[in-house]
Structure 1
């Protein structure tokens, strides 16, 4: 007879395999589409990215932030605190500014003092725009050489390639920073599975988590693949690390179920999750939406795909987000702080 703990380990491994497989799929889609000069296919890639943006938007505001607020309330109740300042929201904003600073700083360092803008096109000279695809090729819209303007055009091409190279160098760090925040979120999600002590609850939570993680893994894979489509090993390594986090969180939750807790541990978990929320907001609005809005594809279609991604996660939160609310007694974990781990399906009230 399989014990609850062994079952958790088996399901944790299954979650890793499924999440990794779904996360790797976008890499092949991106590589095929980026090889194509067909503008409509490049457009589909933009709409897919917008879909991922909608997924992150809903994940942040309907999943992470409500859970942070709930954890903050529980922290104050558990330790009889009387704080009147919105510390979680403050830390979330600090997370946003921190990621913003890291990105601009690395871009400045790698770009030798030049700071290329976001988006798929960089205006290098008033009235003359050179567009580059995200893998560094100059787009067909590049101005043609004319007699007497050879040197100017060559100079523009050199400028464009310099900006693209600096963008590519900073892309790796951006992707890794993003993956770390996403991974921490996954780690906390896995905690919920780890602290369950009955097989029925474990199965129910596993399948609803798997559905949620599947959509999230595709969006994460897409975002990382878009930034580093030429660096297959980097993309695969990042996705595998991300996929490992939820199972790891599950195992940690299982181990921590009977561990002693204190205010420092609970505050640290809340602090890190609030920082992760700030990263989500930055990636959603600056990296994805602002970037896609600056290109020339159909903006109404982009909006539609953002709404589709948002609606998908919203639907999952409505139907699966609070299904297990009454069941989260956490067995022997009551008062040990693991309830701050991630009551992924507890904040639907």
Structure 2
């Protein structure tokens, strides 16, 4: 197998390997749900115990993923970016510049994702406020259209002022409270209600209203004009039900907004990992020896398996649709073969590797590192810090994920040093 065939074979294996580990959490989620619901209703204790076990496994997996992302950002991506910047400085004779370019690029990536998330959050809140305003206007319109008599011109201004101050739908709880409010109503309001209610010619005379010994009781009876106590009670019940539904809808909207924010962060992480994977495939595609290709394949495969598994768990917890998860993992799996093909093109034509391409690669890699840094601290580790269950085990899982990735990075560094020594010895023997 020649060098080009080896690169193509490694690219295909990369695609299947990444897709497998990205979809594995979906299969495990289905299996755990069936396992949790396998017992009958008579075994409630077993169901609760299984539910606690599943919750514990998911929490520990998320904690392990937080440690993996933390190590990936600081020990792998930042190191690769620093090496790329130093190579550009050495190649284009910029070694005298000691400005921390790699750190600045990472900071730009970090703040770009921060402001992007704030802008998205503002757009979601703006759309929610518009929807609530439309719902409120619709409810007010329905209340106005339910009036049986038209409002006189002389009373329109009074009605608009009164409706802008209080909302009668939100102050009524029972029929008794409504009757108490009617008894305590000022006479000016009853005069307004009198204009709205159908009255007889005798009641329309002002003298009858002023000379009546029981003004408040007759005024309250006028508000019942054509309406029975049962009908008023039904309207109050409907108003209370509408208020309860509105509160439930607001809670549902808040949960939906939180899920959308978590999903958006997962999408940003997938995009950053895709760019980083593309650059990893590019580094494999430009290699000139077979053993270097297979070594990078093994190292990157072990490194990416835990990351993809943890990202799949995050997407499931964000209540993402299965089809959307499959599409994201497929895009992430195709990034490596595409990067290897680009590496083949670059290695085939050395003139294509210009200063502009090197700078573009460094910028993309830096923005990817900044994105992973933001997601690691603001999403994963912050969420783990706010949890109040399985504290010791979650802490050990975070440290365990970091230690595993640190050991992999250490073995990779030692192997790189060994290859450099072999290359230097070979040059000495040739010379």
User: Which bracket does the TM-score occupy, shorter chain normalised?
Assistant: 0.7 to 0.9
Residue in 2 that maps onto 1:192 = 283
Q: CA deviation at 1:58?
A: 0.6
Distance 1:153 1:31 in 2: 34
Q: CA deviation at 1:308?
A: 1.1
Distance 2:116 2:370 in 1: 13
Structure with higher RCO (Cα < 8 A, 6+ apart): 2
Residue in 1 that maps onto 2:341 = 251
Residue in 1 that maps onto 2:19 = 20
Q: CA deviation at 1:328?
A: 7.1
Distance 1:299 1:155 in 2: 37
Question: Does the alignment pair 1:202 with 2:293?
Answer: yes
Question: Does the alignment pair 1:281 with 2:295?
Answer: no
Residue in 1 that maps onto 2:6 = 7
SS at match of 2:126: coil
Checking the alignment, whether the CA contact within 8 Å between 1:62 and 1:314 is kept in structure 2 is yes
Question: Does the alignment pair 1:76 with 2:76?
Answer: no
Which residue among 323, 342, 346 is the counterpart of 1:233?
A: 323
Checking the alignment, whether the CA contact within 8 Å between 1:201 and 1:327 is kept in structure 2 is no
Checking the alignment, whether the CA contact within 8 Å between 2:282 and 2:342 is kept in structure 1 is yes
Checking the alignment, whether the CA contact within 8 Å between 2:266 and 2:311 is kept in structure 1 is no
Which residue among 103, 106, 117 is the counterpart of 1:92?
A: 106
Q: CA deviation at 1:163?
A: 0.9
Checking the alignment, whether the CA contact within 8 Å between 2:265 and 2:375 is kept in structure 1 is no
SS at match of 1:323: helix
Which residue among 115, 119, 124 is the counterpart of 1:110?
A: 124
Residue in 2 that maps onto 1:53 = 66
Return the TM-score normalized by structure 2.
Answer: 0.63
Checking the alignment, whether the CA contact within 8 Å between 1:91 and 1:275 is kept in structure 2 is yes
Distance 2:256 2:307 in 1: 29
Distance 2:289 2:90 in 1: 27
Checking the alignment, whether the CA contact within 8 Å between 1:171 and 1:228 is kept in structure 2 is no
Give the structure with higher Rg (CA): 2
- Name which of structure 1's ranges 276-285 and 193-202 shifts more when overlaid on structure 2: 193-202
- Name which of structure 1's ranges 217-226 and 264-273 shifts more when overlaid on structure 2: 217-226
Distance 2:19 2:388 in 1: 32
Segments of 5+ residues of structure 1 without an aligned counterpart are 116-146, 332-349
Distance 2:367 2:98 in 1: 20
Q: CA deviation at 1:6?
A: 0.9
Distance 1:245 1:211 in 2: 17
Q: CA deviation at 1:19?
A: 1.2
Segments of 5+ residues of structure 2 without an aligned counterpart are 37-47, 130-172, 175-239, 424-431
Alpha carbons of structure 1 residues 176 and 27: separation in structure 2 relative to 1, 3 Å = same
Alpha carbons of structure 1 residues 167 and 151: separation in structure 2 relative to 1, 3 Å = same
Question: Does the alignment pair 1:220 with 2:311?
Answer: yes
Residue in 2 that maps onto 1:318 = 410
Residue in 1 that maps onto 2:217 = none
Q: CA deviation at 1:320?
A: 2.9
Distance 2:295 2:341 in 1: 17
5 Å-filtered alignment, 1:298-337, equals 298-325=390-417, 327=419
Q: CA deviation at 1:7?
A: 1.3
Instruction: Count residues with an aligned counterpart.
Output: 297
Deviations 1:71-116 (A, max 9, x none): 111211111124332122112112111112222221221233679x
Return the TM-score normalized by structure 1.
Answer: 0.77
Deviations 1:135-179 (A, max 9, x none): xxxxxxxxxxxx999998766533321111223334443322211
